[in-house]
C-alpha cells in the first residue's frame, strides 16, 4: 500500500482550520465589496480572490474529517455573512465532491430556508463546472419548496443548463419568488420568451416578478419591454432605474431627451446620473459637467462625465469637501466615488471639447463600438463595470451572461467570447429598442 501524502498523514490543527474558515469568510465579504467598488479594477479583485481561495483550498486539503467536523456544521451559520458560502465552497470543491459533501450542501438547499439558500446559491455559482448540474437538474422535478426551486432555477440559468419543462411551468407558479426566478432564468434563453408570457410578467402585482420580466424582455429585444421602459420613466414606476439604464444603452434623440429631462427633477436626478453616461454624447457630457457643480450630484456626475469623455476626473484634496454629500448617496459604493475638482474639469473640457462630434456616441473618449465598449468594460472600475456589463449583455441579446458577480476568470472568459462575436451581431442587437427610439 502506498503511504499517504505527508499533508494527509499529519495531525489536524483544528484551531488553524477554524482560522482558515474565519479568514475565508472575511475575505468573501471583502470580495463582494470589491466587485462593486469604484476604487477597484478587475486585477484588484483577482488579488482578493486569490487570497480567499487560498484559505478555501486549505479547508479542501484537510479532507473528510474537516468537512464533517467543521464545514458541514458551518452551513447552518447564516448569521455571519460569508461563512456559509465558504463552508459550502470547501465542500463542493472536495476531490470526492460527488459524494457526501455535495449531499450536505444540497440538503440545506432542499430545506429552502431563505437566508441559507442565498449563501448556498452563491457558493454553487462559484463552484460551477464540476458536474454539479447532474445533481441539480433532477432536483427541479422533485417538487422542492419555493425557496429551493427559485434557487435551482437561478443557478441553472446562470450555468446555461436547461431546467426542462419545469421552467415554463414555473412562470405561473403560485409563489412570486419562483416566477421571478423563472424569468431571470429565461435571460439565458431569451428567444423562448413569448410576448404573452412577457405581458403576464410585466403586469404582475409583484415588483420582483415584473422587474425580472422586464429584463428578460429587453434581452429578447421585445418592443413591449422597450415601451414598458418608457412607461416606467414617465409614470415613476418601481423599475424606473432599470428602465433609465436600458434607454441610456439604446440611445437616440428621444431616449436622450427623456434622460436629460430627469436631471431637472430632484426626484430623478440621482437615478439619471447613474446611467446617463451610457448615452455617450457631447450633450450628455455637457449636462454632466453642469450637474457636477451641484454638491449632492457631483460624484455621480463626474463618474458619468468620465465614462463619456475618458477623462480621469481629478479629485479635490482630502479634507476640503463641502456640502452634505452623505445625503446624495444611497449605498456604499457611491460614497466612495471621488469628489471632483470642477475647475480643472472645466479647463480640460474647454480644451478637448472640439474633438468630440455632436452626432457620435462615445465611451471613454472613443466612438462607441464593440471593441471600445469591451475595452471600457475591462479597463474600468468595478462600480462602472456593472453598468457596462449590462450594456454589453443587452447589445448581444444575452450572449454575455449576467455573471458580473462571478470569479474574475469567469468574467474574463465571457468577455473574450463576446469579443469574438461578429460585429454585425453586436451592432444590430438593439433592433427592438432602436425601432422604438431611433438610437445609434
In this model, does residue 436 exceed pLDDT 70? no
d(CA 275, CA 229): 14
Residue finishing a domain among 103, 127, 151: 127
| Angle (CA) 154 87 140, round 5° | 30
Question: Is 138 domain-assigned?
Answer: no
Within 187-279, residue ranges assigned H as helices are 195-202, 207-219, 223-235, 240-250, 253-262, 269-275
Structural domain count of the chain = 2
Question: Is 194 domain-assigned?
Answer: no
User: Which residues are CB-neighbours of 419 under 8 A, at least 6 positions away?
Assistant: 370, 371, 374
Question: Is 183 domain-assigned?
Answer: no
The residue segments making up the domain with residue 82 are: 1-127
Residue finishing a domain among 92, 127, 162: 127
* 172-226 confidence digits (pLDDT tens): 999 999 999 999 999 999 989 999 999 999 999 999 999 999 999 999 999 999 9
Question: Is 46 domain-assigned?
Answer: yes
Residue finishing a domain among 109, 127, 145: 127
Question: Is 199 domain-assigned?
Answer: no
Q: Is the whole model's pTM more than 0.85, yes or no?
A: yes
Name beta bridge partners: 349: none
Give residue 96's Cα distance to chain centre.
31
User: Which residues are CB-neighbours of 413 under 8 A, at least 6 positions away?
Assistant: none
* 133-184 confidence digits (pLDDT tens): 888 999 998 888 898 899 999 999 999 999 999 999 999 999 999 999 999 9
Q: Which three cell numbers stand for residue 140?
A: 427541479
Question: Is 330 domain-assigned?
Answer: yes
d(CA 104, CA 92): 9
Q: What is the DSSP string of 298-325?
A: HHHHHHHHHHHH---PPBPPTT---S-G
- Specify whether 262 is located in the same domain as 409: yes
- Specify whether 303 is located in the same domain as 439: yes
Burial group, residue 165, by CB count within 10 angstroms (0-12, 13-18, 19+) = exposed
Amino acid at each position: 500500500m502506498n503511504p499517504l501524502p505527508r499533508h494527509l498523514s499529519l495531525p489536524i490543527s483544528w484551531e488553524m482550520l477554524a482560522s482558515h474558515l474565519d479568514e475565508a469568510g472575511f475575505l468573501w465579504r471583502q470580495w463582494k465589496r470589491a466587485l462593486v467598488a469604484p476604487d477597484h479594477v478587475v486585477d484588484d479583485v483577482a488579488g482578493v480572490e486569490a487570497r480567499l481561495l487560498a484559505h478555501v483550498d486549505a479547508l479542501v486539503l484537510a479532507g473528510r474529517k474537516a468537512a464533517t467536523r467543521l464545514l458541514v456544521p458551518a452551513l447552518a451559520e447564516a448569521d455571519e455573512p460569508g461563512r456559509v458560502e465558504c463552508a459550502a465552497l470547501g465542500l463542493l470543491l472536495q476531490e470526492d465532491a460527488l459524494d457526501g459533501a455535495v449531499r450536505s450542501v444540497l440538503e440545506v438547499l432542499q430545506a429552502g430556508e431563505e437566508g441559507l439558500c442565498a449563501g448556498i446559491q452563491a457558493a454553487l455559482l462559484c463552484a460551477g463546472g464540476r458536474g454539479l448540474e447532474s445533481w441539480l437538474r433532477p432536483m427541479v422535478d422533485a417538487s422542492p419548496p419555493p425557496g429551493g426551486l427559485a434557487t435551482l432555477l437561478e443557478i441553472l440559468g446562470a450555468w446555461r443548463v436547461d431546467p426542462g419543462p419545469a421552467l415554463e411551468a414555473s412562470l405561473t407558479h403560485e409563489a412570486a419568488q419562483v416566477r421571478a426566478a423563472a424569468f431571470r432564468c429565461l435571460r439565458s434563453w431569451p428567444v423562448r420568451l413569448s410576448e404573452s408570457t412577457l405581458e403576464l410578467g410585466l403586469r404582475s402585482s409583484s415588483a420582483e416578478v415584473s422587474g425580472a420580466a422586464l429584463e428578460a424582455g429587453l434581452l429578447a429585444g421585445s418592443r413591449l419591454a422597450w415601451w414598458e421602459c418608457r412607461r416606467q420613466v414617465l409614470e415613476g414606476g418601481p423599475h424606473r432605474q432599470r428602465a433609465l439604464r436600458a434607454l441610456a444603452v439604446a440611445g437616440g434623440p428621444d431616449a436622450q431627451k427623456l434622460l436629460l429631462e430627469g436631471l431637472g427633477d430632484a426626484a430623478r436626478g440621482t437615478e439619471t446620473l447613474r446611467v446617463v453616461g451610457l448615452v455617450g454624447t457631447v450633450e450628455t457630457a455637457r449636462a454632466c459637467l453642469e450637474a457636477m457643480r451641484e454638491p449632492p450630484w457631483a460624484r455621480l456626475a463626474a463618474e458619468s462625465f468620465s465614462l463619456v469623455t475618458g477623462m480621469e476626473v481629478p479629485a479635490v484634496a482630502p479634507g476640503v469637501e463641502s456640502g452634505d454629500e452623505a445625503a446624495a448617496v444611497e449605498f456604499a459604493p457611491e460614497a466612495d466615488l471621488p469628489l471632483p475638482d470642477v475647475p480643472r474639469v472645466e479647463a480640460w473640457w474647454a480644451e478637448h471639447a472640439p474633438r468630440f462630434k455632436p452626432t457620435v456616441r462615445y465611451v471613454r473618449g472613443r466612438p462607441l463600438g464593440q471593441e471600445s465598449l469591451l475595452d471600457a468594460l475591462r479597463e474600468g472600475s468595478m462600480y462602472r463595470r456593472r453598468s457596462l456589463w449590462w450594456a454589453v449583455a443587452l447589445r448581444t441579446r444575452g450572449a454575455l451572461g449576467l455573471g458580473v458577480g462571478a470569479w474574475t476568470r469567469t468574467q474574463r472568459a465571457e468577455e473574450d467570447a463576446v469579443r469574438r462575436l461578429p460585429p454585425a451581431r453586436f451592432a444590430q442587437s438593439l433592433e427592438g429598442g432602436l425601432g422604438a427610439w431611433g438610437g445609434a
